Amino acid sequence: MTDRPSLAVILAAGKGTRMKSAREKVLHEVAGTAMLAHVIANAQAAGFARKAVVLAPGMKQARALVEAEAGDIEVFTQSEQLGTADAVLAARSAIENFDGDVIVLYADTPLLRAETLVKLKDALAGGADVVVLGFEAADPSGYGRLIETAQGALVAIREDKDASTSERAINLCNSGVMAFKGAHLLGLLEKIGSDNAKGEFYLTDAVGLAHEQGLQPVAVRCEEAETLGVNSRAELARAEAIMQERLRSAAMAGGATLVAPETVYLSCDTRIGRDVLIEPHVVIGTGVDLAEGATVRAFSHLEGARVGEGAVVGPYARLRPGAEIGAGARIGNFVEVKNATFEEGAKANHLSYIGDAHVGVRANIGAGTITCNYDGFDKHRTEIGEGAFIGSNSALVAPVTIGKGAYVGSGSTITKNVADDALAVTRATQEVREGWAAKVRKRRNRDT
């Protein structure tokens, strides 16, 4: 990969009316990450250190996302939507006098791989002046065709409606992504006219202009799936399916076992260690780290959580943000954990809610236990010491501390701290009335 200075201009001003959404189109998520964030990350990974994002007026949400991103990013506004060349010119101050490589990307095309973008940089380094990313389409209808000479020189991009019969037979199609030697870009953009049906300025015209000027345009190919642009909910679902297949394949290639991979949903930032086992129908949101040898059993949902080596989660478990599950710990069926740490070997095997808590090494949480962490105004923490035993159907009213090795009797509501090795029981004294049930049944039968 060349070390030449490089700039990615990311066009994100599309209205996305077919999405029928109050959310700006480029913020819709694929594998848990906004499409715009995917494109920014891929540009960064491909070595485009400088980035310019072109938005439409009023795109406050997208602007906030960009401003929260790390790195060298500028934001520009395309005041009117007058075509792709006009959108690139909105970033004029970034591209004028820039002598490096410039790539034009689209914020609604989240599936392009960084290694594909590197190929465009390499083509520029190899002598090309303009590089167009193309793909061999299974059905080229509707796409612009890349017109090449017999020697492989790219001479034009012909829109489908303008193509001849022989040109329509070409299945090498335009993805829209283009890269330029910066020294030529501004001059080409300023020569692009709007003599077309829509009266817009099309970036694709740069190829023909470059050819006429004796510059060298070339085409670089990629897989068709990478070029998918998202303009509707159906296309968003297609992009999600493609991304999930990539993530699953990468997880299995890295040494994880997915029993039924087509039923597992991952996020683009999911970290999965070797020998992790993921059973069917698991959903993993953003911010999840599964350490080596961890098991996630069926029908579990995880987000913002870390699972330690050899720990077991599920089935039917829910880990919410801030859940820290230590090595060898067990989180069982219908257990929910939020902003809580389970130390090594700690267990909550059944039907419990543990929130805003710390559970010590080898402590045991009985079925039906809850930490009462919210008083209607504020959250409070529960501390459960090493080796403590919490009996079934207990309520721990925070803030409260259960000491090391302490016992809480089943059915107790604990509102005060429990010392190390102590027993806390708050059950009422059991009363047994012999024959009471028989007498009640007899009386009720007589009454009826």
Token digits for 269? Answer: 């930032």
Catalytic residues, which ones?
350
Q: What is the 3-state secondary structure (H, E, C) of 358-425?
A: EECCCCEECCCCEEECECCCCECCEEECCCCEECCCCEEECCEEECCCCEECCCCEECCCECCCCEEC
First to last CA, the chain: 90
Give me the long-range contacts of 34-37 (CB less than 8 A, separation at least 24).
34/65, 35/107, 35/108, 35/109, 35/110, 35/230, 35/239, 36/10, 36/12, 36/62, 36/65, 36/66, 36/107, 37/65, 37/69
Helix (H, G, I), strand (E, B) or coil at 355: strand
Q: How far apart are CA 19 and CA 224, in angstroms?
A: 22
Note if the bond before 399 is cis, omega within 30 degrees: yes
